[in-house]
Chain A
Amino acid sequence: MAHNLGTSPDEVQFRFRDDEPVDHGTVTVDSALEQTNANAVRIEPGDDARLLLPFLDRLALVEVNFPSFGDGRGYSAARILREAGYAGELRAVGQVLIDQLSHMRRCGFDSFAPDKRLDEEDALRAFATWENVYQRAADRRATIADKRHEA
């Protein structure tokens, strides 16, 4: 399949999965809806992630692009996919910065391909910023309220 779009495994700086990454490029959401064999898709900020829900079984990689770090639609896209049971790789690409990492992780991203490589030490510290969390999210972590009321 043509490497027409998206990031290659080499560009992934952080990955929290053990399976083999998809070794080819992604297609647009529109193409994915037409090509019944596409297993790697790229979501742009304006795309409706829910269009992919009927095809989640066949997807192994979804890239969510952040052309600008201030555009937070990708966080919703990620959670929507995880809430629907998507278990494949969910990769944040584009302007992925240190201070977005912990929130992205909470929304279900499990791989990160920033367009500019991040300082490893700063990034690892950022992933570990929140020892506890207030909200239920895609990472399924027990929340502070859950811990307060553990039987």
Chain B
Amino acid sequence: MYKYDQYDQAMVDARVEEFRDQARRRLEGKLTEDQFKPLRLMNGLYLQLHAYMLRVAIPYGTLNSRQMEALADIAEKYDRGYGHFTTRQNIQYNWIKLEDAADILADLATVEMHAIQTSGNCIRNISADHFAGAAADEIIDPRPYAELMRQWSSFHPEFTYLPRKFKIAVIGSETDRAAMRLHDIGIRIVRRASDSGAEVGAQFFAGGGMGRTPMIAPLIRDFVPLDQLITYAEACLRVYNRYGRRDNKYKARIKILVHELGAAEYTRQVEEEFAHMLSVGVEPPHEELARIAEYFAPPAFVDGPKTLDRSDPDFALWVDRNTHRHKHDAYVSAVISLKPAGGIPGDATADQMRLMARLAKQYSFDELRVMHTQNVLLPHVRIADLHAVWTALEEAGLGSPNMDTIEDIIACPGLDYCSLANARSIPLAQRISERFAQSGRTEIVGELKLKISGCINACGHHHAGHIGILGVDKKGTENYQLSLGGSEAEDVSLAKITGPGFDEDGVIAAVEKVTDVYLAARADGERFLDTYRRIGMEPFKEALYGA
């Protein structure tokens, strides 16, 4: 994985000092809270309901054991002994004191980590396919491109006061495991035939997003040559910075600009700016990409057994559910579920983080990934080592065999933490996963992605859930709208609302009813989403609301 050189380290160190100085000026009254707010946000510091929250960047979700251990130390030293992994492959600490923030950033800097641009109206932490460099179906490892963009987007002088936040995801497979088209810019690294054999480039999608106006990003360019990647991104951002709406924060995301202009007109403006930018020369030297790519060379895989002893049914179930096919046939990627039935999705204790770090060091070339599904991944595990890994995970309460099942719920922090929320998300996730785990239904239902947001900002990705739940405030009480048919994957679609909302008990019953309809109607091999797409909304509505 990528390692800082003296320049990267100096940039992060300079940022810590800058923030320390900003905090000092705030305390001395030289900065008003209004002036300080965007500065602390750009260092990941939010004011929530009960305390400050610090969001630490994990660029494209990749970290090593030393970094994971540092995250555990921070959880113990400055928080309440745990952290929360997020849908953008970051980690959040929910109980932070403002006066500790600069020290935490300094601690992070010692392990090549930071909280830069994890909030604010700037280019956020770049996310990527969590199986990058490991998945059997990968065409090109997206991480070098994500790292190139991390450097380009860090402290960008022109794009630090954008109309609104800006999220970029990069993938390198046909399969989309990063919700790429639900990002402000989604990039797919592709290979195409050329005179010299094959040429690598980037497909650009722009104007996707969730929030109150969900949109799927249209393709704006089929192929950007690699030595123009940054230039093209810069052109996309400049058009947005100049013309994105600033009169209404709810209409300020790039998706609204692309929608209002139309994809063709936005593209035309970008192309014009791009042509200009090419003449200015903003692209980093092409050797830089090669330098970065060296850090992502495949580790030294060794041959080994390709089959395993499945005599323990619990182990076999976990293998079937939680492992993913690897490029090398003696390896798999193993998903560490942070979704124990009845637990808080994405939470991990300091001890659990340390265990994950140890397993990474021992069994996965010292590498971990944070998944956008709020789980953690050991990307390269020998099949021969799987039983040992599973045994250790089981002992630590991290062995739930539920990847991509209804227990693998994405949920935002909701009203338990967040000052924007209208309703609680976490207790709902806990009750649903517990209910399905206890009844044994999880396994019967199979793949079903349930996503819960506690408000219309959609941090819990409810628009992209096979089943989505949105918490709203209805005359002072929490109410939950149910929606069906969303997907964040390559078959991307936006979920549709079933009808009137439910109270907490009601929405749990509704989720069960919806799975009843699916189980009664499903054809061979159909996932919930496939059945929904085949039979449509009506049968579900009928079951939920009757005649």
Contacts and interface: CB of A to CB of B under 8 A. Distances in A.
B14 A75 contact: no
Interface residues of A, number: 39
Contacts of B161: 69-72, 75, 100
Given A73-B242, A149-B288, A149-B291, A107 B158 contact: yes
Interface in B123-169: 151-152, 154-162
Contacts of A119: 30
A34 interface: no
Interface in A74-99: 75-76, 79, 83, 97-99
B280 interface: yes
A122 B30 contact: yes
A146 B162 CA distance: 27
Given A72-B162, A129-B14, A134-B155, A148 B288 contact: yes
B287 interface: yes
A71 B246 contact: yes
A129 B283 CA distance: 23
B7 interface: yes
A103 interface: yes
A149 B285 contact: yes
A143 interface: yes
Interface of A: 45, 48, 69-73, 75-76, 79, 83, 97-100, 102-104, 106-107, 119, 122, 125, 129-137, 143-149
A135 B241 contact: no
Contacts of B246: 45, 71, 73
21 contacts: A70-B38, A70-B121, A73-B242, A73-B246, A75-B241, A79-B158, A106-B157, A122-B30, A130-B155, A131-B10, A132-B10, A134-B152, A135-B152, A136-B281, A136-B284, A144-B151, A148-B7, A148-B291, A149-B285, A149-B288, A149-B291
Interface in B153-196: 154-162
A103 B238 CA distance: 15
A78 B18 CA distance: 24
B474 interface: no
Given A75-B158, A75-B241, A137-B157, A122 B25 contact: yes
Contacts of B14: 129-131
Contacts of B39: 99
B5 interface: yes
A62 B259 CA distance: 33
The 9 closest A-B pairs by CB, nearest first: A72-B161, A106-B157, A145-B284, A103-B157, A145-B288, A144-B7, A75-B158, A136-B282, A149-B287
A133 B153 CA distance: 11
Given A72-B161, A99-B39, A137-B282, 10 more contacts: A48-B242, A71-B246, A72-B158, A104-B157, A132-B11, A134-B154, A136-B283, A144-B11, A145-B284, A148-B288
Nearest to B13: A131
Interface string B356-379: 000000000000000000000000
A129 B15 CA distance: 8
How many interface residues does chain B have, given as a range? 35 or more
Contacts of B154: 134
Contacts of A137: 157-158, 282
B11 to A, nearest CB: 7
Nearest to B292: A145
Contacts of B5: 148
A135 B153 CA distance: 8
A75 B161 CA distance: 9
A146 B157 CA distance: 17
Interface in B379-415: none
A143 B241 contact: no
A103 B160 contact: yes
Contacts of A69: 35, 161
Contacts of B284: 136, 143, 145-146
B306 interface: no
Interface string B87-105: 0000000000000000000
B515 interface: no
Contact of B151 (A97, A122, A145): A145
A135 B22 CA distance: 23
B156 A98 contact: no
B441 interface: no
Given A125-B21, A132-B11, A149-B285, A72 B151 contact: no
A124 to B, nearest CB: 12
Residue with the highest number of chain A CB atoms closer than 10 Å, among B7, B121, B152 = B7
B276 interface: yes
Contacts of B31: 97-98
A130 B362 CA distance: 39
Contacts of A131: 10, 14
B483 to A, nearest CB: 33
A145 B40 CA distance: 28
A146 B121 contact: no
